[in-house]
Amino acid sequence: MRATVSFDVGVDRVPETMRCLVVEEAHILGSAIERLEGVSCETLAKDIDEVLGKLHEAAHQLHQYRDMLVGFERDRFETILPQPAPRQDLVENMLQVKQAAEDMKRFDSFLGKVGQEDEEEDDNSEEG
């Protein structure tokens, strides 16, 4: 079973944090070597299978750590600074806002007229 671990760390601590994770994989690789060195003829196939599993897991983790570090470095140096919006888009957006405001005023006026007509009808029906 695998799990994803997510946490925040200061930018200046990233290399040391990643180094700690890599050193942990080194311990796993060291134990795999010790296992191979102490292998017996009776359990040879089983021992090799277990060592290969540890090697595979450690290699997988190291690939992930490398990819994370490469991505981190790339992000540090390729940070895209905010760019000003093109003037044309700003003008178009302002025109759209003005048009929407005018549409709302017309709609409000329409609703006002409908409300007045309803009141007039109610007044006429009460009188008659």
User: End of a domain among 38, 54, 77?
Assistant: 77
**pLDDT tens per residue across span 2-46:** 888 888 888 889 999 999 999 999 999 999 999 999 999 999 999
Q: Domain check: are 56 and 88 in the same one? A: no
Among residues 49, 51, 48, 71, which one has the least CA distance to residue 59? 51
**pLDDT tens per residue across span 92-105:** 777 888 888 898 89
Among residues 47, 60, 83, which one has the least CA distance to residue 68? 60
pTM equals 0.56
- Please tell me the total count of domains within the chain: 2
**pLDDT tens per residue across span 54-92:** 999 999 999 999 999 998 888 877 766 677 766 666 667
Q: Which domain holds residue 116?
A: 84-128
